[in-house]
Structure 1
């Protein structure tokens, strides 16, 4: 097993995100986007120049983010998924889980341009959440239910295999997907942390079809081979890495969002990088991010 020490981790942007999440590399712009969920902010970073911009949103939380065409994005506010135009206009597309004490959380676009996004219980213990597939026409299809905290959504390059995690259920699944109609035709446990209580969080697939996953409260990133074995562990200088993506001109920079949430004042003093955007160079090869296709 390959072990990467925390000394290899660099600061991509020093920040104080309460709950940094959903890093996405836009290869067209050569820009890194990410969210602070609980201080609802959309961040934009140009690593080549260091230019950083932030846009605050008037909502309780920003739950998820995805790229679309022509500079557009999908962005989740509370339980509503929105179209964010290049001119920053916000247009609601679909709302889910009406009447439940939930919010939208992690999501990712599959190779056919559909957006898969999950909901989570705001109290972090009730199985109120679901995994949804959002099609090009904006319709939402419930795919998996009885989820506490949806996370770790990722897809193999051919779109036939998906990954999905319930962070507070301490389980990750491998899904068999029909790439043509987006139906889930099989589901099996991929990783089980129910005995240890570990919290697998956001994830991404690399060019070799391996899954990189952050461990919230676990201080590390791991890479799973397709057979479920861990072959790489990256130790982090923070307790709460939250999500990962590959970026840079050659997709060889692993970007990691982090959080200050749940950390005591003493712990925050000991972790000056908590809440910052971090990066590790040259430990893997990523792929361009899939983009949502509007009908």
Structure 2
């Protein structure tokens, strides 16, 4: 799939940090902070873009897979194969649920996102990055799991269109993004169609979000760019990044007109790291469009 490149908007580094695998940026409208994680140096980060103040909390796990906002104000974070409720102010956490029928360290939790009904959709992945050991799960507020699809290598890019009837889901190591139609209740997939196929070139679609126009924004790990797809699957915008590994993105700020992007230095050679001093940092892009507020997990 190809699309016309547009003039790159202003891309600013707003947090200079060496994140090994920065991921899952989310804008919290209650605290007016950007929250994000480092998966492989497990830290939960909070950043105030208006002041530049940033601080982190180390997490007791091997992999901090993703995080989600909740209606209680706590964050639902994925530690290895566990979902934990984390108080971002005190750092106190409590176990919420564990993924059934999976084994660590063969698999772990990775990307996730909350739907409009307050349920979390989250996937698992093969830590060896080569076998279809992962699955997609729906996690309900009572902590129960429903499993869909298997043979997933690296679950990624989970996002929902504005009406909640369609979900985007990516397998980074299969180089595919699907558009999934859900049933009327938004509880179960009805059908799945390939939305974007990069298997021929081996590109790695990574984290994603949907803007107010219903277009899908996606980061390309090892691709040095982020792109916007129309709902029909056509790329209508491509923004070059000053680093090789953009990982995930979200809209935020008071008007949701700032596009925040996390990055990683994982897999970069020593020469690449020397040439990319901002690899692993957090970036903000203005003029890319407007997003919408994240849904919050309806924790019971």
TM-score of the pair, normalised by structure 2: 0.95
SS in 2 for 1:283: coil
Contact conserved, 1:112 with 1:179, CA < 8 A, in 2? no
CA distance in 2, matches of 1:181, 1:216: 30
Deviations 1:156-210 (A, max 9, x none): 1111010000000111000001252511111100001111100000000000000
The answer for the alignment partner of 1:60 in structure 2 is 62
Decide which of 242, 245, 260 is 1:255's aligned counterpart.
260
Moved over 4 A (4+): none
- How much has 1:120 moved relative to structure 2? 0.6
Indicate whether 1:99 and 2:97 are aligned.
Answer: no
CA distance in 1, matches of 2:111, 2:218: 13
- How much has 1:243 moved relative to structure 2? 0.2
The answer for the alignment partner of 1:277 in structure 2 is 282
Of the structure 1 ranges 202-211 and 136-145, higher mean CA displacement relative to structure 2 is found in 136-145
- How much has 1:111 moved relative to structure 2? 0.9
CA distance in 1, matches of 2:5, 2:259: 16
Q: Mark the runs of 5 or more structure 1 residues left unpaired by the alignment.
A: none
CA distance in 2, matches of 1:15, 1:190: 33
TM-score of the pair, normalised by structure 1: 0.97
From the superposition, tell whether residues 179 and 43 of structure 1 become closer, same or farther in structure 2 (CA, over 3 Å). farther
Q: RMSD in angstroms over aligned alpha carbons? A: 1.2
CA distance in 2, matches of 1:68, 1:125: 33
CA distance in 2, matches of 1:204, 1:141: 23
CA distance in 2, matches of 1:64, 1:178: 26
Aligned residues: 294
The answer for the alignment partner of 2:43 in structure 1 is 41
- How much has 1:279 moved relative to structure 2? 1.1
Q: Mark the runs of 5 or more structure 2 residues left unpaired by the alignment.
A: none
The answer for the alignment partner of 2:194 in structure 1 is 189
